[in-house]
Amino acid sequence: MDIGPSEAKTFWIEFLRKLKRRGLNGVKLVISDAHAGKSGRRVVAAFIATAFAQDDAASARTQWRQVADQVRAKLPKPAALMGEAEEDVLAYMTFPREHRAKIHSTNPIERLNGEIERRTEVVGIFPNEEAITRLIGAILLEQNDEWAVQRARYMTRETIAPLGDHLLASLPAVAA
């Protein structure tokens, strides 16, 4: 977690560099809520959903490309974006099947961001960054605990282990 003046590219670059300096390595997936423009979004989203419904990565890539080809004549910009984003968008297909439904969508992130926004608006003005960190940190810990104990847990050590690199064991404990 970090605090910045906006979600501009410069903030995210520095945030990721800080994580790297703190020892983060072996990243397998980054989930972002960045969006493309609104032109043709509904039509393209419906077509894209057919790629997400595929059982394996090869089928998803094939379907993704077929969708891009179908929309190219009427919606050239979204089709071009699909060509550029294919590898990134379908990266979740390399994860175990039980994880895919949880990571192919940004819905969990969007809900979490909505809760953070709702709770920070109640406070309005924070006296300092430490106060922001305490509130948002508490929200994030709440969410982590909820994901850890819910019936269909978000992710477990056991289901992540086959991904290799023993990520959870290799990340050093670092104080914020």
Rounded mean pLDDT, 4-25: 91
pLDDT tens by residue, 122-166 = 998 999 999 999 999 999 999 988 887 876 666 777 777 777 654
Q: Would you list the DSSP string of 33-53?
A: -----STTHHHHHHHHHHHHT
**138 or 97, which is more confident:** 138
Under the banding of pLDDT at 50, 70 and 90, the label for residue 109 is confident
User: What is the pLDDT at residue 60?
Assistant: 94
Q: How far apart are CA 133 and CA 145, in angstroms?
A: 18
> Is residue 176 predicted with pLDDT exceeding 70?
no
Give percent of the chain with pLDDT exceeding 70: 85
Q: How far apart are CA 38 and CA 42, in angstroms?
A: 8
Q: How far apart are CA 112 and CA 142, in angstroms?
A: 10
Q: Smallest Cα–Cα separation from 48: which of 109, 104, 100?
A: 104
For 75, the token pair is 């919606």
Structure pTM? 0.67
* Category of 8 on φ-ψ map: left (φ > 0), alpha (ψ -120 to 50) or beta: beta
Q: Work out the widest C-alpha separation in the chain, in whole angstroms.
A: 53
Dihedral angle of Cα 12, 18, 23, 28, to the nearest 10 degrees: 0
User: What is the pLDDT at residue 36?
Assistant: 66
pLDDT tens by residue, 47-59 = 888 998 899 999 9
User: What is the pLDDT at residue 57?
Assistant: 93
**49 or 38, which is more confident:** 49
End-to-end alpha carbon distance in the chain: 9
Q: How far apart are CA 96 and CA 11, in angstroms?
A: 31
